[in-house]
Structure 1
Amino acid sequence: MAFYDDGSFHQATGVSRETLDKLRAYAALLEKWQRSINLVSSATLPELWRRHFADSAQLAPLIGTETSTLRCVDLGSGAGFPGLVLAIMGIGQWTLIDSDRRKLTFLQEAARITRTSVTLLPARLEQVTGLTADIVTARACASLETLLGYATPLLEPSGKALFLKGRDAAREIDEARKTWNFEVRRIPSQTDPEASIVEIRNVSST
């Protein structure tokens, strides 16, 4: 299934019309703010629904359907991918973390116009304390080795991390194993044949 526009996204994901309208409003806001703030690569705007919305939404089945009470943390949220997309889809209770206050202002406005409840945390990832999570996500944020350093203190023992990774996923896993012990599953991306979702459980330092 190609995700060229909102229609194909709707067909592939089966989200409700109300959810689709919220995502359309989010997309329109992003395109407007992109003129003054670099939220995403401008080259990806023509493929916004595939490169960003569908890429984020593909994590939904890996989190599950009965997930309204799950505590979820998105590391380095930036423009809100994947955390805000999943929050709009009604999956989990989300904390979105980013150190860029301009991006947090955008996320605040996006959450307002889509009537989506999220917690926004202005912080550097290495300074985050006092959070616990069932799910930790990240996309285009840092190497897997570094991400595990951020995620491990947050994850509940039964929790898992879901990281969207590109063509270097296998190399990053090998590098991370020098510092961390973990269970890993690589899941092919639905939106990029060279990309993977890296699912991590049971992390401990070596």
Structure 2
Amino acid sequence: MQDNINKDLFFFKKNLNVCEKKMQIFMKYIKLLDVYQTKVNLIGKSTRDKIWSRHILDSAQILKLLPNENKGYSIIDVGTGAGLPGLVLTILGRNDIILCENNYKKVIFLSAVIKECQLKVQIFKGKIESYKNKNTKIIVSRAFAPLKFLLKSIKHMTNADTILVIHKGEKYLEELELARKYYTFTAQCYDSITNPLAKIVKIKNIIELNE
């Protein structure tokens, strides 16, 4: 397993230039994840030996698709779970992230990471349907729900300025097609650097049909 982890770490460093200080924070994060993984399922056990590429690099790759920070708005990570991608984006320098998580045990883990790593990030404890912050303009999500259901869950907080950046698997076209039966939107698809079958989808101009 250690050989696989070392190879995975090499792949991570090859694709993302991270300073030593941030690498140490990532190490603390992974150490805490291993501790809490025994209490709550944070990541799939079969993906642990590829944590650097499968989870951290996969989360980090959306950084370049996000607008620059603006004090007038924030980013919310819907169904953040283990803090993916929200905590990764925070470690890499974003100071405008809000983590949305409804699972109490996962919230405890997230709080422990924030305290131990001294990160500037907020947690919204509850379902995204209950989130009311009107200053949130950007929504990210990695493994929350199919697009149709995600759009339904966030429709109370979307407007002409909303930007949605999400990770999608090989069935991304099917999800887009289904979602377009209920919403109009513009979508740009970008190749994932961690999975040749996956895409990062950036969605704008979301309008619910027959509203």
Task: Give the TM-score normalised by the residue count of structure 1.
Answer: 0.92
Once structures 1 and 2 are overlaid, which stretch shifts more, 40-49 or 130-139? 130-139
Structure 1 residues 22 and 203: CA distance shift in structure 2, 3 A: same
- Are the counterparts in 2 of residues 6 and 24 from structure 1 also a CA contact under 8 Å? no
- Are the counterparts in 2 of residues 163 and 197 from structure 1 also a CA contact under 8 Å? yes
Aligned runs of 1:16-95 on 2, under 5 Å? Answer: 16-64=19-67, 66-67=68-69, 69=71, 71-95=74-98
The answer to whether residue 12 in structure 2 is matched with residue 9 in structure 1 is yes
Percent of aligned pairs with the same residue?
29
Question: What is aligned with 2:109?
Answer: 106
Structure 1 distance, partners of 2:7, 2:55, is 11
Q: Unaligned 5+ residue runs, structure 2?
A: 1-5
Structure with bigger gyration radius: 2
Question: What is aligned with 1:166?
Answer: 169
Offset at 1:114? 1.4
Offset at 1:131? 4.0
Structure 1 residues 68 and 158: CA distance shift in structure 2, 3 A: closer
Once structures 1 and 2 are overlaid, which stretch shifts more, 10-19 or 134-143? 10-19
Structure 1 distance, partners of 2:70, 2:135, is 16
Question: What is aligned with 2:184?
Answer: 181
Structure 1 distance, partners of 2:199, 2:165, is 10
Once structures 1 and 2 are overlaid, which stretch shifts more, 109-118 or 174-183? 109-118
1:78 aligned counterpart, secondary structure: coil
AA at the equivalent of 1:45: R
AA at the equivalent of 1:184: A
The answer to whether residue 193 in structure 2 is matched with residue 190 in structure 1 is yes
How many residues end up aligned between the 2 structures? 203
- Once the two structures are superposed, residues 154-193 of structure 1 have per-residue CA deviations (whole angstroms, 9 ceiling, x without a partner) of 3453331001011110000000000000000111111011
- Once the two structures are superposed, residues 122-176 of structure 1 have per-residue CA deviations (whole angstroms, 9 ceiling, x without a partner) of 1112222234323100111101011112334334533310010111100000000
Structure 2 distance, partners of 1:198, 1:58, is 12
Structure 1 residues 34 and 173: CA distance shift in structure 2, 3 A: same
- Are the counterparts in 2 of residues 88 and 116 from structure 1 also a CA contact under 8 Å? yes
2:141 aligned counterpart, secondary structure: strand
Structure 1 distance, partners of 2:55, 2:190, is 18
Question: What is aligned with 2:3?
Answer: none
Q: Which runs of 4+ in 1 moved over 3 A?
A: 3-8
Task: Give the TM-score normalised by the residue count of structure 2.
Answer: 0.89
Q: Unaligned 5+ residue runs, structure 1?
A: none
Structure 1 distance, partners of 2:128, 2:163, is 18
